[in-house]
Amino acid sequence: MELLQLYYFQVTARCEHISAAARKLQIAQPALSQTIRRLEHELGTPLFDRIGRHIQLNDFGRIFLKYTDTALGALSDARAELADAMANPWQKVTLCVQAASSLLPDILGKFTRLYPKIQFQITQSTAATDNIPDIDLTISAAVSSGNTSAFSGNTSAFSGNTAVVSGDTPVFSGDTSLFSGDTSVPSDNVSASGEPAASAGQAPAPDKNRCILLTEPLVIALPSGHPLTEKKSLTLKELASWPFASLHKSSNLFQITRYYCALAGFEPRISLSCDNPQAFRELLGLNMGIAMIPEITWPKMEASGIVTRPISDICCRRDIVLTWHKNRYLSSSALLLRDFLKDYFLELAAAAAR
């Protein structure tokens, strides 16, 4: 068994499509197919189910992928640790940014002034999860851990189903990815909108591969001419009949919006969906829908004709969460960035509290 076989299998397993994997690997499709078949023959079992022209990772493939990720990840860790041992700390750091992307230029600008030799690979794909071994650090968002108990006594939106929409992404009963852990927000820490302001803190000790960088309120964004701008605050329940604009359904913000709307007893009706946060912010002024947005980590949009209103009936907050692999070696460059991000968001939380 060769390392190249394992790498080809890993990429193919992620894509679940031979042609797409071949393009990504920049090899001929017949060569890739032959490599996969040779690996399956050596293992004595098929790793994919062939469905017409498509392939799907089967149970045997999922088992083998788990160990393939471990083996290739260990080799990547070895290279990183050897580079550190050879006194070459200026390595490339792979950062996945799924939330607070508008802060990225400021973050990298300040960090590279301190460490100008460190290189970066940035991805904003929501498909780049903790299961992909090449990512050093991931910045994502989740329902604030202080809000995870808010469901008790208010389950009318689900009618016994643990998913916001039947058959779609579950947010309870076994899927805790929407929640960030356990932290507390001081009750006397209040923002200008009347919601608890940002707070930074660590996640519980058992979950050592993540920390909460920031907790921030969510507010409702409205075009300046919208009838609801006449109110100083809004309840989520009164928004049920209005169309919503949102980031793509795979985004953290979309899932958080669905969660809080479900607490208010409805599923948001999406009239505008966009997978680019910057373009989405620019499109909000077209009066194609209202939106739930972060109060602190998103730029102010008054100049674009957007006004915001606090939410009065449900305390809607999200956590900005930093994650890294539990059993992976982090290079000295990645550790520098991890510590910098903690300090950066701590300062942001302090500024927001003033």
List the domain range (segments joined by +) for residue 308: 93-354
Indicate if 74 and 220 belong to the same structural domain.
no
- Is residue 41, in this structure, part of any structural domain at all? yes
Indicate if 100 and 248 belong to the same structural domain.
yes
N-to-C CA span, the chain = 60
In the chain, alpha helices (H): 3-15, 18-25, 29-43, 59-85, 104-114, 252-263, 277-283, 332-353
Residue 18 is predicted with a pLDDT of: 85
Sign of the four-CA dihedral 6, 11, 14, 17: negative
Q: Which residue ranges of the chain lie beneath pLDDT 70?
A: 84-90, 125-133, 146-208
Residue 74 is predicted with a pLDDT of: 82
Indicate if 98 and 60 belong to the same structural domain.
no
Indicate if 242 and 337 belong to the same structural domain.
yes
Indicate if 155 and 281 belong to the same structural domain.
yes
Residue 25 is predicted with a pLDDT of: 87
Residue 132 is predicted with a pLDDT of: 54
Residue 32 is predicted with a pLDDT of: 87
Indicate if 195 and 68 belong to the same structural domain.
no
Choosing from 82, 104, 132, the residue where a domain stops is: 82
